[in-house]
Amino acid sequence: MKSIGMTQTTQFDPNGLKFKVFNPRKHQLPKINFRQTNGEDPLSVQEYYENYIFNGKSDTDEVKYVIKYFDNWIGFFSIDLTRLHTKQSELIPQYKVKGKKEGFYQGPTCALLIKKIGIDQNYRCYGIGKYIMLFCSGLVQTINKDKLIKLVIFKTTRSLAEKIYFPKYQFSFTGTSGKLVWAFKRIC
């Protein structure tokens, strides 16, 4: 007997996905459950959705995309350009002082930060995360003519990084301990 998960996966049509820049005056999304199946929200996705998309506030710098699958709203993500530094760079002088080079810091790395990703609980297991990664990686390549943006990066749970983002989509991730990690992948 076929499992429901298998049936759902084989019936999913990625051509039905639509990615739209969120416009609070035009897009009225329903209440959607973005929590984990255990009810937890370790990345504050539900909170972000309710504050900035469901309630229509749009007072953040990042670009928000909302996702439809045919006629149903099924998720969102928000992206921003960011600079990655090492914490040490706050302490190390970056320039020569009185002719002496007191420290070396190669400078920040520019990256596309996916700040939040939310997928409706009812649409998990369709591989929609992969399509979001493809969309973001494609987008950033098209705006990266000077090759200054090096990475796509996002914070996720260690569990998702280990079970999905690394084995399925080859996203590396940081650290060996802790519940949350940075997942990243080069774009040039």
Partner 1 sequence: MSKLFTPHSDIFLECDEYHQISEYLNDKINPKEEEFLTEAIAFYEKHRHDSDDSI
Interface residues toward partner 1, by CB under 8 A: 17-23, 26-27, 61-63, 79-90, 106, 108-110, 112-113, 131, 133-143, 150-151, 153, 169-170, 172, 174-175, 182, 184-188
Measure the CA angle with vertex 80, ends 78 and 82; round to 5°: 145
Q: What is the rounded CA–CA span in Å between residue 185 and residue 33? A: 28
The position carrying tokens 């760079």 is: 89
Nearer to partner 1, 110 or 164 (CB): 110
Nearer to partner 1, 7 or 23 (CB): 23
Least Å distance, CB 93 to partner 1, is: 16
The 10 Å Cβ neighbour count of residue 133 is: 22
Structural contact between residues 68 and 29, judged by C-beta atoms closer than 8 angstroms? no
Least Å distance, CB 5 to partner 1, is: 23
Least Å distance, CB 29 to partner 1, is: 11
